[in-house]
């Protein structure tokens, strides 16, 4: 076993549901949780004579996503029919894009665990319509709900550039962050807005040569966890299979597997040999899409700074930790709020601490995003300034922020109301220090003689002063006075 090494090779196909109001080719509203078959019309039911018309918003969302993924956006794309027969596909074909995808030759940067980034190439990005849903009942029949039929889907296909389950997960998470930033998808995993299909195999090195295991495609994964685990499972399964049987990659031995979430195993799916004969041909019902430089420029102007670039900038420009930068850039409303607070004069690290330690925690508890807590960025900036100036302690600042959310009042008013203003007036504090020193002769002795108890005694004296001011003395100022007096 020790003379064998292998590399994991994974490419990923992702379907992202776009957040348009209506379906791809008809004006039915997109649905989640409605009564079955309530949101269908002659077009998405595939009734004879009904004609599809493109949703401009869906096409523009797709172009925007393609641009964010650094793709070349094709000046000419068309629609093709992908034929297959299944009860959830009423027309017996899916409208998709075959040989002329909307975007191609792009890439996405993903963060690695060691803090570096990796570039994964994007083969193509195209638009298509979703199918409906089959429900398998206990009886001797199945149920079909066509509400989802015709929902716009963005299909993104990467090159096989990923080499571990965690890299694939990182790509999926990064893609979710990007589509949410762009506002082209809600990226809600619970609602099935993102579905993944990894293609996995191994490149094995042994003294007797180099081998590739047969590619397995795992279908329809709808969580990051299932994505990561199914790949980890496949790696071990393919390694075991190779060691046992020596089977290697050949034409036609790619397999399709499903993921069993309960047992955490992939299961071979029997597929009829002709299942992939989709007989694509151009859809005569739909005219092509041609782009002009002006139109592309207009869409390009809607691009924003992407999350990973923003995260990196927070580290280099503001000196935040990579972890904090990741937390602040996870959702666009949070990052936007953070930057508005900086624009209002808040110091980055201080604002970051207030938001990550209190703001985001409260937002999570309320089940809303940070921007919806009712905080004003300028108010947070004012509070950060007060903490920096020593007017309030860091702990008090957190308390004040909580009250700002609860009451909507300004930080200065709350600091007074809650009696949290620190005394930094050296003259006033000096009198209290003198009093404490006079009352604690032994401790003073310990500090001055530099005995073993010196450090502890000094801490004790500082504590006494703070206590006498009911916690309102600025510890930094008290400390300076103590240093001066106990030389």
Partner 1 sequence: MSEQIDAEQVRKVAKLARLQLSDSEIEEFTGQLGAILGYVEKMNELDTEGVEPLAHCLPISNVFRADEVEPSLGTDRALANAPERDGPFFKVPKILDDNSAA
| Residue 303 touches which of partner 1, Zn ion, none (Cβ within 5-8 Å per kind) | none
Alpha-carbon distance of 199 to 156, in angstroms, equals: 13
- Which of residues 8, 12, 14, 15 is near partner 1 by CB under 8 A? 15
- Which of residues 9, 31, 37, 41 is near Zn ion by CB under 5 A? 41
375 within 8 A of 405, measured Cβ to Cβ: yes
Distances (CA, A) of 338 to 43, 320, 352: 45, 12, 7
Q: Six-digit token pair at 419?
A: 């009696």
| Residue 412 touches which of Zn ion, partner 1, none (Cβ within 5-8 Å per kind) | none
Q: Six-digit token pair at 309?
A: 């670039």
Residue (31 or 248) nearer to Zn ion, CB: 31
| Residue 137 touches which of partner 1, Zn ion, none (Cβ within 5-8 Å per kind) | partner 1
Q: Six-digit token pair at 191?
A: 């609602």
Of 228, 111, 216, give the one whose Cα is nearest residue 164: 228
Residue (43 or 481) nearer to Zn ion, CB: 43
Q: Is 54 in the site for Zn ion (CB under 5 A)?
A: no
Residue (26 or 218) nearer to Zn ion, CB: 26
Residue (28 or 156) nearer to Zn ion, CB: 28
Q: Is 44 in the site for Zn ion (CB under 5 A)?
A: yes
Q: Is 37 in the site for partner 1 (CB under 8 A)?
A: yes
241 within 8 A of 213, measured Cβ to Cβ: yes
- Which of residues 12, 18, 26, 68 is near Zn ion by CB under 5 A? 26
DSSP-assigned letters across all residues of 416-462: HHTT-PPB--HHHHHHHHHHHHHH-HHHHHHHHTT-TTHHHHHHHHH
Alpha-carbon distance of 462 to 482, in angstroms, equals: 8
Q: Can you tell me whether residue 48 is helix, strand or coil?
A: coil
Q: Is 29 in the site for partner 1 (CB under 8 A)?
A: yes
Which one of the spans 80-88, 322-330, 335-343, 354-362 is the region binding partner 1 (CB under 8 A)? 80-88
Q: Can you tell me whether residue 239 is helix, strand or coil?
A: helix
Tell me the CA end-to-end span of the chain in Å, nearest whole number.
68
- Which of residues 8, 10, 16, 20 is near partner 1 by CB under 8 A? 20
Q: Is 270 in the site for partner 1 (CB under 8 A)?
A: yes
Interacting residues toward partner 1 by CB under 8 A: 15, 20-22, 27-29, 35-42, 45, 53-59, 76, 78, 82-89, 94, 100, 128-131, 134-137, 139-146, 153, 219, 256, 269-271, 274-275, 277, 279, 282, 284, 286-290
Interacting residues toward Zn ion by CB under 5 A: 26, 28, 41, 43-44
């Amino acid at each position: 076993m020790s003379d064998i090494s292998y590399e994991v090779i994974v490419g990923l196909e992702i379907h992202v549901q776009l957040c348009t109001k209506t379906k791809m080719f008809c004006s039915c509203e997109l649905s989640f949780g409605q009564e079955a078959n309530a949101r269908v019309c002659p077009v998405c039911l595939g009734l004879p004579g009904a004609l599809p018309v493109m949703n401009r918003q869906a096409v523009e969302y797709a172009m925007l996503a393609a641009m964010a993924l650094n793709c070349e956006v094709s000046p000419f794309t068309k629609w093709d029919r992908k034929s297959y027969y299944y009860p959830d596909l009423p027309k017996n074909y899916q409208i998709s894009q075959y040989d002329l995808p909307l975007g191609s030759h792009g890439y996405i940067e993903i963060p690695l665990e060691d803090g570096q980034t990796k570039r994964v190439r994007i083969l193509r990005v195209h638009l298509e319509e979703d199918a409906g849903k089959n429900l398998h009942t206990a009886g001797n029949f199945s149920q079909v709900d066509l509400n989802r039929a015709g929902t716009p889907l963005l299909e993104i296909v990467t090159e096989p550039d990923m080499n571990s389950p965690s890299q694939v997960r990182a790509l999926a998470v990064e893609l979710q962050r990007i589509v949410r930033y762009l506002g082209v998808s809600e990226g809600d995993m619970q609602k099935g807005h993102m579905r993944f299909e990894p293609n996995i195999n191994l490149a094995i090195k042994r003294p007797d040569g180099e081998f590739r295991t047969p590619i397995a495609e795992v279908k329809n994964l709808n969580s990051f966890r299932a994505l990561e685990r199914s790949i980890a499972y496949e790696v071990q399964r393919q390694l075991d299979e190779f060691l046992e049987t020596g089977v290697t990659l050949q034409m036609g031995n790619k397999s399709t597997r499903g993921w069993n979430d309960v047992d955490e195993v992939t299961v071979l799916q029997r597929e009829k040999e002709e299942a992939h004969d989709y007989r694509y041909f151009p859809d005569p019902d739909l005219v092509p899409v041609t782009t002009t430089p002006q139109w592309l420029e207009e869409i390009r102007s809607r691009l924003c700074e992407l999350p990973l670039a923003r995260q990196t900038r927070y580290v280099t420009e503001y000196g935040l930790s990579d972890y904090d930068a990741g937390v602040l850039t996870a959702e666009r409303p949070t990052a936007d709020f953070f930057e508005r607070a900086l624009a209002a004069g808040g110091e980055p690290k201080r604002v970051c601490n207030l938001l990550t330690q209190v703001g985001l925690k409260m937002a999570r508890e309320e089940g809303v995003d940070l921007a919806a807590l009712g905080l004003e960025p300028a108010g947070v900036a004012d509070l950060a300034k007060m903490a920096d100036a020593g007017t309030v302690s860091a702990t008090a600042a957190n308390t004040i922020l909580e009250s700002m959310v609860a009451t909507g009042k300004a930080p200065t008013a709350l600091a007074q109301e809650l009696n949290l203003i620190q005394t930094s007036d050296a003259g006033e504090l000096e009198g209290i220090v003198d009093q404490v020193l006079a009352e604690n002769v032994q401790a003073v002795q310990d500090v001055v003689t530099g005995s073993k108890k010196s450090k502890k005694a000094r801490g004790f004296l500082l504590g006494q002063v703070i206590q006498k001011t009911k916690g309102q003395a600025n510890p930094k100022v008290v400390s300076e006075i103590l240093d001066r007096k106990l030389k």
